[in-house]
Amino acid sequence: MKNCLIIVDVQNDFLPGGALAVPNGDEVIPFINSIQNQYDLVVATQDWHPANHGSFAANHPDRKPGEIINLNGLQQILWPTHCVQNSLGAKFSEKLRMDIVQKVFVKGTDPGIDSYSGFYDNGKLQSTGLHNYLQSQDVGRVTVVGLAADYCVKFTAIDATELGYSVKVLKQGTRAVNLKPTDFEQSILEMKSVGIIVK
């Protein structure tokens, strides 16, 4: 069984200066670059939203980022407009090594539902194709790094566990949005509670 590194959303909008900057998000890049050669396979996920995405506060009159709404039956945190398809903000950081990334899986493309996990949208209605790809490559173990620990990294890791992979998250390779100051620690506890190794 192969070991795969999943690099989650290391995109300009999540880095310092971006529309939805993760504090110190850029610190993960040298670490992620340094470990890529240790895996049989490296893949990446990419937030890839249409401009009319329902998770953008700007698309809801009188709403602000951070507010929670009901979006087609699911609780949705409203975010600043970010990672719009084909924008500079949606591009991977130029500092991120991409030469051995075998495949990129886009997510968040349906305006009616958000997608934190690299495997499915938040309602698990549609798959990104990542699971099928990993199965076709005989992957049994995954390591998840990238942005952000309390959203897309956490949900990618939890879905991977539910799909039967052995999962590890490397703290050095991720940072949190921390809407609440304890969100990073809370995410780690949540991941550990379902059997994910966090180190």
Catalytic residue positions, numbered: 9, 107, 152
Name the band, by pLDDT with cuts 50, 70 and 90, for residue 144. very high
**pLDDT tier for residue 155 given thresholds of 50, 70 and 90:** very high
Q: How confident is the model at residue 119 (pLDDT cuts 50, 70, 90)?
A: very high
Token pair 């921390």: residue? 178
| pLDDT per residue as tens digits for the range 38-70 | 999 999 999 999 999 999 999 999 999 999 999
Mean pLDDT over residues 132-137, rounded? Answer: 98
Is 79 in contact with 57 (CB distance < 8 Å)?
A: yes
Q: How confident is the model at residue 188 (pLDDT cuts 50, 70, 90)?
A: very high
Helical spans, DSSP H, in 53-141 = 130-136
Rounded average pLDDT over 174-180 = 95
What's the pTM? 0.97
How many beta carbons lie within 10 A of that of residue 77, not counting itself? 17
Average pLDDT over residues 104-127: 97
Domains with residue ranges and CATH for the chain:
2-50+82-198 (3.40.50.850)
Distance CA 6, CA 101 (A): 9
- 4-43: pLDDT as tens digits: 999 999 999 999 999 999 999 999 999 999 999 999 999 9
Rounded to an integer, what distance in angstroms lies between the CA atom of residue 163 and that of residue 18? 32
